[in-house]
Each structure stands twice: as C-alpha cells, then as structure tokens.
Amino acid sequence: MLQTRNQSTAQENWFILSRFKGILRYHLCSLGKIVAWVLVVLLGSSILAMILPAVFPARDFGMGGISANMPVASILALVCGCIVAHRSTRFLLRFGTPRFSVWLCNLLSLAVAMLAILLGSLLISILIGYLTFELSQSSALFTLAGYTSQGYLEGEALLSASLSEAFQSLPNQFLNLVEWVCLYYFVGCCLRRKRWLTLTVVIGVPLALIILMVVPAVRQTVDIDGLPYRRNYHEYD
C-alpha cells in the first residue's frame, strides 16, 4: 500500500514538476489560433471561388473530388515547427522547465495541430463538394467530375468514391505529416542554435548538387549541338 502511494506521488510530482499540462495548454492555445486562421482562410477562399462564377458568368467552377489539403498542411507544419522550436521553446525554458517535457510536449502539440488541419481541410472539402453538387444540378457553371481509383466519375458517384478514399488515406497522410513535423522541428532547433550554418547546409548543399547535376548535362547538350558544325568545318578543311 505504501509502495503504491509512493509511486502515485512520484508520478504526480513528475507531472507537476515537468509542467506537462501547462506546456500542452500553452502550445494548443497558440497553435490552435494559427490552425483556426488557416482554416478560415481556406474556407473563405473556397467560398470566394464559388461566388466568382455568379459575378463573372464566363468563369466556371470545377471540383475534382473530396480530399484533405496536404500541401497546406505541409507548409503549416514547417511554419509551426519553426515557431515552436524557436520562440515557444525559448519562452518555456526561460522559467526553468525541464527540457525533456518541453521537447515531448512540442512534438505532441505539433502532431495534434497537424491532425486538426487535416481534419479541418477535409471537412471544408466535404462542405464545398456537396455545395458544388447542389449547384451543379441547377447551373452549368458548376461541374463536379474527376478521376478516382474507380475511373472517371461525375456527380454523386464522385462524391461517395472520393470521400471513402479520403478517409482511407487519412491515417497514412497523418503519419507522413508527423514524420515531416519531426524533421521540420529538428531544422527549427538547428536554426535556433546555428542559423547561418543550418541555412548553408539546407540551401547550399541541394543547390550544389543541382549545379553538379545540371552542368554536365548542359555541356553534353552543347557538345552534341556543336558536333555537325565541327564535322562540316573539318570537311571544308
């Protein structure tokens, strides 16, 4: 009985001393605002794109199915990972918070935020998809057609097929996004420590590899293009 009480007290003291709940609350509050603003922008831009055909009849609105917005989630993962690794980590460590709990809560909060942006973008896509389907029944300016694993589909068939595929691919998208979050968080930590060295490695190394790959191809192309002229020149000699 005494050993159980000691274990529970030690666990409680770890949560209190690590400020686990407080760090999560702080991150979810700050990241939640960013995610909310991004979702509002996505919803507003989608609705604006649907309103444009009513204002400009020559413009059509087409939708190719329901899906989570992975590109926006990837960009947001990079931005949030750098913010959490830089400004938020400095703010939390300033008050003597243990580094392990800060690191763990940083990754957990980033994973929760990325799950929220994926689910939010999927819900927006579902809303826009069904609105487009209803409008396509009464106006030729709105079309709902696209390719899925079942082939080329239109209308309600496309909605049901793309919705099922979106839900099936959502776990894999979330796991891939969590992997990129960990990489972006590592890059953000490197930027906090050695900014210019990190930028040199992240930008300079790929640029050097691209140059090393492009220059031989350009030289080979120039040599091939100049080969007939060289032959003609030698013939005249």
Q: Stretch 172-180: mean pLDDT, rounded? A: 90
In a domain, 144, yes or no: yes
The three-state DSSP-derived secondary structure of the chain is CHHHHHHHHHHHHHHHHHCHHHHHHHHHHHHHHHHHHHHHHHHHHHHHHHHHHHHCCCCCEEECCCCCCHHHHHHHHHHHHHHHHHHHHHHHHCCCCCHHHHHHHHHHHHHHHHHHHHHHHHHHHHHHHHHHHHHHCCCCCEEEEEEECCEEEEHHHHHHHHHHHHHHHHHHHHHHHHHHHHHHHHHHHHHHHCHHHHHHHHHHHHHHHHHHHHHHHHHHHHHHHHHHHHHHHHHHC
In a domain, 6, yes or no: no
Is residue 59 scored above 70 in pLDDT? Answer: no
Percent of residues, the chain, with pLDDT higher than 90 = 8
In a domain, 216, yes or no: no
Q: Stretch 27-48: mean pLDDT, rounded? A: 89
Which residue range(s) make up the domain with 146? 20-193
pLDDT of residue 15: 62
Question: Could you tell me the pTM of the whole model?
Answer: 0.74
Is residue 220 scored above 70 in pLDDT? Answer: no
pLDDT of residue 221: 66
In a domain, 85, yes or no: yes
Q: How many domains does the chain have?
A: 1
Provide the pLDDT confidence category of residue 148 given band limits of 50, 70 and 90.
Answer: confident
In a domain, 26, yes or no: yes
In a domain, 4, yes or no: no
In a domain, 226, yes or no: no
pLDDT tens readout for residues 115-145: 999 999 999 988 988 888 887 777 777 777 7
pLDDT of residue 152: 75
Q: Regarding predicted confidence, which is higher, 59 or 178?
A: 178
In a domain, 224, yes or no: no
pLDDT of residue 91: 72
